[in-house]
Amino acid sequence: MDKKVKRIALLSGGGDCPGLNAVIRSITKTAILKYGYEVIGYVFGYRGLYTNNYIELTVDKVENIYKEGGTILYSSNKDNLFDYLVEDEHGNKVKKDVSDVGVENLKKAGVDVLVVLGGDGTLTSARDFSRKGVKVIGVPKTMDNDLSSTDLTYGFISASSVGTEFIDRLNTTAKSHHRVICCELMGRDAGWIALYSGLAGNASCILIPEIPFTIENIVKHVALRDQQGYPYTVVAVAEGAKYADGTKVIGKIVEDSPDPIRYSGLAAKVADDLEKAIPNHEVRSVNPGHIIRGGDIAPYDRILSIRFGVKACELIDQGLFGNVVTLRGETMGYTSLEEVIGDAKIGKQKRVDPQGELVQAAKAMGVCFGDE
């Protein structure tokens, strides 16, 4: 048991995600009220750690952010202190390992434990700080729900709830005009958000990265719905889904980013292709983009965020540093940072199983995934 902890610091890195504020709140309140720690928060993630820019967190400051999307600590998805852009003595921009500055700043601020809220990029740096001897606790963050080490992360249910509302709303307008409407949903290379939003919102066609699709199969599905008396179709399109010939739509490649591929535009392409192939229906596409990431968080995520935050404090109290909070079944637990980083690598992420119960249930209900 480590009884010497007096002051902890939080930072959030990577893209924001619904529930981050609620986790900041639960850690701050539990740390202060239950364990008597002081709490500070670095602003703009690791950049704040480098520039020593932090705020004191108090119960009063966090009390009312329980349902607010985003992060009051702000976030940056670029600043890796182990490979950080600085100016050299000639004024040239160069990448350098400035992690020692971070370690020094933690000491200067009297921080005993650093709690890092982030996805794989942010947690990779957390692991590297842990390897340098910093006492670190990780709290995973991905609304894409693609981390194998935990069954669920806060943010996924909120994003899928907003996605569901989009599909609900598109169904009524698609029905009125007998249209086909394709709706693009975030989620990177995992189809969870599109699958949950599509199923809950009654999209009759769902395209996900795990199940390659063809336009011909979607055309067949639309024709079948016509025959069945449903002359409209809403297609939930995961941004990272791919055609059976391997075609994907990439909006932009962003150099100098931990996630260089920025997906955008697949729903528009699918709609274009369908328009050519289905002359008897008008086709439209929408891309809600970041809208599913913003706004208030779902009640389920508010509670999940409390559980992740309280567990993080418990790990600090028990001196279990170098670990990440996880949820397995109904039980909060933890896994080492080393293992979580390994699990976040391409190929080890948690993906939708095309043979799994959920996809099979959807197929039993007549949902088309574009593969048959």
Which residues here bind ligand F6P, judged by CB under 6 A? Answer: 15, 77, 142-144, 186-188, 239, 262-263, 293
Q: Which is nearer to ligand F6P, 250 or 277 (CB)?
A: 250
| CA separation for the pair 44, 48 (Å, rounded) | 5
Q: Name the minimum Å distance from CB 192 to ligand F6P.
A: 10
The residue annotated as part of the active site, out of 16, 79, 112, 144, is 144
Q: Which is nearer to ligand F6P, 251 or 333 (CB)?
A: 251
> Cα–Cα distances in Å, from 146 out to 104, 107, 109, 138, 284?
34, 34, 34, 16, 29
Q: Name the minimum Å distance from CB 167 to ligand F6P.
A: 17
Q: Which is nearer to ligand F6P, 260 or 319 (CB)?
A: 260
Asked if 16 is an active-site residue, the reply is no
Q: Which is nearer to ligand F6P, 62 or 139 (CB)?
A: 139
| CA separation for the pair 184, 194 (Å, rounded) | 8
Q: Name the minimum Å distance from CB 259 to ligand F6P.
A: 7
Q: Name the minimum Å distance from CB 250 to ligand F6P.
A: 11
Q: Which is nearer to ligand F6P, 37 or 308 (CB)?
A: 308
Q: Which residue sits closest to ligand F6P, CB atoms considered?
A: 186
Residue type, 272: D
Q: Name the minimum Å distance from CB 116 to ligand F6P.
A: 16
* Enzyme catalytic residues: 144
